[in-house]
């Protein structure tokens, strides 16, 4: 389905289930798409736990651009998409996430979206070779629990265990987390299971 935003249309691929335990909303990195193997692995775990899953192609990618553009515009468009999805699915717990740039968007917008938690895959802690340009504050200021899955050979760096609720570091994986995508799903599953088992929220608690 297409969702109109202030910065162009976004596209959403939905996996709908009856009486979902949670809603998981995922997005891609700067140069990728929603068919990335690690995203699909997390999607599979959420579906197995009875969750509904929405995979969002952001406006800049739908328009054929690789550069995501200003963070404020990405975040605004993301929140518009999430608002449409929340209206459709009601007060089930919302978990949002993505890989690389998408993980950054999910962290920055978590509080405003009313998310219960964030899945951050291949979080790009800093540009390659530039550790001084850290983005750690995006993790620390998410305002909700964040689970991070990174490879130990990621040139974008690896967050410290103190920077998120959970940091899983997969051996021999680089930024694409493509060596063993199933391991990504296994790392996230226990955390998703906790949210799937939580009672429905009924207000702005």
Residue 157 DSSP code: -
Return the domain boundaries, the chain.
2-196
Residues 53, 14: contact at Cβ < 8 Å?
yes
Provide mean pLDDT across the span 74-94.
Answer: 96
Token pair of 5 as six digits? 């935003």
pLDDT at residue 194, rounded to an integer = 87
Class of domain 2-196: alpha beta
Q: Which residue has the higher pLDDT, 203 or 16?
A: 16
DSSP assignment of 4-70: --BTB-EEEEEE--SS-S-EEEEE--SS--TT-HHHHHHHHHHHHTT-EEEEEE-HHHHTT-SS---
**Taking the model in full, what pTM does it have?**
0.93
Provide mean pLDDT across the span 51-57.
Answer: 97
pLDDT at residue 76, rounded to an integer = 97
Percent of the chain's residues with pLDDT above 90: 89
pLDDT at residue 198, rounded to an integer = 61
DSSP E strands, 45-176: 52-57, 94-99, 117-121, 145-151, 166-170
- Please determine, for residue 64, whether its predicted confidence score (pLDDT) is greater than 90: no
Going 122 to 51 to 83 to 81, the CA torsion angle's sign is: positive
Residue listed under structure tokens 């054929």: 64
- Please determine, for residue 200, whether its predicted confidence score (pLDDT) is greater than 60: no
Provide mean pLDDT across the span 144-163.
Answer: 96
Percent of the chain's residues with pLDDT above 70: 96
pLDDT confidence tier of residue 204, bands split at 50, 70 and 90: very low
């Amino acid at each position: 389905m297409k969702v109109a935003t202030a910065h162009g249309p976004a596209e959403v691929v939905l996996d709908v289930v009856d009486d979902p335990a949670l809603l998981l909303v995922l997005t891609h990195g700067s140069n990728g798409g929603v068919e990335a193997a690690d995203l699909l692995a997390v999607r599979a775990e959420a579906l197995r736990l009875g969750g509904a899953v929405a995979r969002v192609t952001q406006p800049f990618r739908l328009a054929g651009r690789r550069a995501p553009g200003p963070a404020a515009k990405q975040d605004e468009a993301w929140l518009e998409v999430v608002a449409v999805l929340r209206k459709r699915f009601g007060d089930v717990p919302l978990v949002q996430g993505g890989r690389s740039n998408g993980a950054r968007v999910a962290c920055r917008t978590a509080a405003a979206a009313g998310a219960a938690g964030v899945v951050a895959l291949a979080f790009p802690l800093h540009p390659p070779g530039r550790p001084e340009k850290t983005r750690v504050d995006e993790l620390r200021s998410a305002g909700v629990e964040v689970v991070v899955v990174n490879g130990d050979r990621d040139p974008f760096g690896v967050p410290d265990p103190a920077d998120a609720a959970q940091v899983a570091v997969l051996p021999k994986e680089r930024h694409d987390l493509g060596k063993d995508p199933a391991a990504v799903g296994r790392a996230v599953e226990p955390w998703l299971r906790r949210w799937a088992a939580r009672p429905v929220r009924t207000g702005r608690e």
